[in-house]
Amino acid sequence: MTPFPVARFDRTEPEPKLPEPRGDLSERVLATLAGRPGASLPSDREVERAGPYGDDLHLLLYVLYELHYRGFAGVDEALEWDPALLTVRAAAERVFLHVLREDAPGGEDVTRTVDALLLEPARDDGHSVSHHLQREGTLEQLREYAALRSLYHLKEADPHLWVVPRLRGRAKAAMIAVEFDEFGAGRAENIHAQLFADLMADLALDTTYGGYLDAAPAEALATVNLMSLFGLHRRLRGALVGHFAAVEITSSPGSRRLAKALRRTGAGPAAQRFYDEHVEADAVHEQVVRRDVIGGLLEDEPGLAPDIVLGIEATGLLEERLAAHLLASWRGGRTALRRALPAR
């Protein structure tokens, strides 16, 4: 008998549905994807006037990126490489990348930037989601956090695979070694996306891929869009490695706190298992990423140092924006989602 409930990915699970628009830009893109008569795409100038962190731009980007993952029900798969849609996406990417380069400090000192990731504050400064959830978070707040993170975790590690053909030697071998663990080391039931689906089942959440897209605020969409942006562009391979390093190096202590939060609030064993797995696995991955993925890439292409730093700093920037949104909502007694979850 299995010791905890398991949410199995259904082989017949339908493709995700197109989400609801969040503004004129996303409405026009969604209308085009749906094949609505008379639909017209926004111009570059219209896209470039969008708020760089706003809902409209990030839903537009998320939807266009998703064409490279599982797509959407009723959307022609040929649209993945439609030139007009790619032109809109490129304009949105310019807006997003420009603000990231403006708001991230930048630099070329990879060692110093990576070392900063390892410095845990002596005490919680009040800006950490995992500290909040460990200390005082409610089960409903943990459910909201899982719903938001499902936009990535139900495809965990997929965006990072795009960098593999762009690496060589030691960096490629190390990247594959870490990804092998992310994809269950050959066992489907241990794929990290599956473990997260099991966590969601324990928390009585919908395990459908993309099921909480309409509920996710722009701050959550941006963290997922960052991976796709870096992953889909060969010229940003250094930034993708920097992002990957930031995720792996900071994961273990945060996962330990989240596992404690789940135990404290009475979540089931499958929910706890996901974060327990990341405490152990990512402690090992951190060493491999620092020494071999980053080290190997810099040996091959030392000129990518500024991009590695950008990847690390942009990840931190967007995670801080998401944390500020979550904590402000919860401390104000509000849901952090665009629509509240159904009762458990």
Asked whether residue 61 is domain-assigned, the answer is yes
| pLDDT score, position 162 | 97
Asked whether residue 309 is domain-assigned, the answer is yes
Phi/psi for 155 (5° steps) reads: -135, 35
DSSP structure class, residue 340: P
Q: Are residues 77 and 114 in the same domain?
A: no
- Ramachandran sector of residue 126 (left: φ over 0; alpha: ψ -120 to 50; beta: rest): left
Q: Are residues 146 and 93 in the same domain?
A: no
Q: Are residues 51 and 161 in the same domain?
A: no
Handedness of CA 72, 78, 81, 82 (dihedral sign): negative
| pLDDT score, position 12 | 61
Give the C-alpha separation, 196 to 193, whole Å. Answer: 5
Q: Are residues 70 and 202 in the same domain?
A: no
Count of structural domains, the chain: 2
Asked whether residue 322 is domain-assigned, the answer is yes
For residue 210, the enclosing domain spans: 108-331
Asked whether residue 337 is domain-assigned, the answer is no
Q: Are residues 140 and 258 in the same domain?
A: yes
Domain boundary residue, one of 54, 87, 102: 102
Torsion of CA 56, 60, 61, 65, to 10 degrees: 150
| Full-model pTM | 0.94
Asked whether residue 16 is domain-assigned, the answer is no
Give the C-alpha separation, 223 to 126, whole Å. Answer: 21
Domain boundary residue, one of 75, 102, 129: 102
Write the pLDDT tens digit of every residue in 149-184: 999 999 999 999 999 999 999 999 999 999 999 999
Q: Are residues 89 and 144 in the same domain?
A: no
**Which CATH number fits the domain that encloses residue 131?**
1.20.910.10
Q: Are residues 197 and 154 in the same domain?
A: yes
For the chain, list residues with pLDDT below 70: 1-12, 121-123, 282
| pLDDT score, position 268 | 86
Asked whether residue 189 is domain-assigned, the answer is yes
Q: Are residues 206 and 231 in the same domain?
A: yes
Give the C-alpha separation, 172 to 165, whole Å. Answer: 8
Domain boundary residue, one of 102, 126, 149: 102
Write the pLDDT tens digit of every residue in 323-336: 999 999 999 999 99
Asked whether residue 87 is domain-assigned, the answer is yes
Q: Are residues 88 and 114 in the same domain?
A: no
Asked whether residue 338 is domain-assigned, the answer is no
- What are 183's two structure tokens? 């994809």
Handedness of CA 148, 150, 156, 160 (dihedral sign): negative
| pLDDT score, position 225 | 98
| pLDDT score, position 320 | 97
DSSP, residue by residue, 147-188? HHHHHHHTTTTHHHHTTGGG--HHHHHHHHHHHHHHTGGG-G
Q: Are residues 132 and 90 in the same domain?
A: no
Helices (H), the chain: 24-33, 44-48, 55-66, 83-103, 110-117, 129-135, 139-153, 158-161, 169-182, 192-202, 218-232, 237-264, 269-288, 295-300, 305-331
Q: Are residues 60 and 161 in the same domain?
A: no
| pLDDT score, position 11 | 53
Q: Are residues 32 and 56 in the same domain?
A: yes
| pLDDT score, position 8 | 52
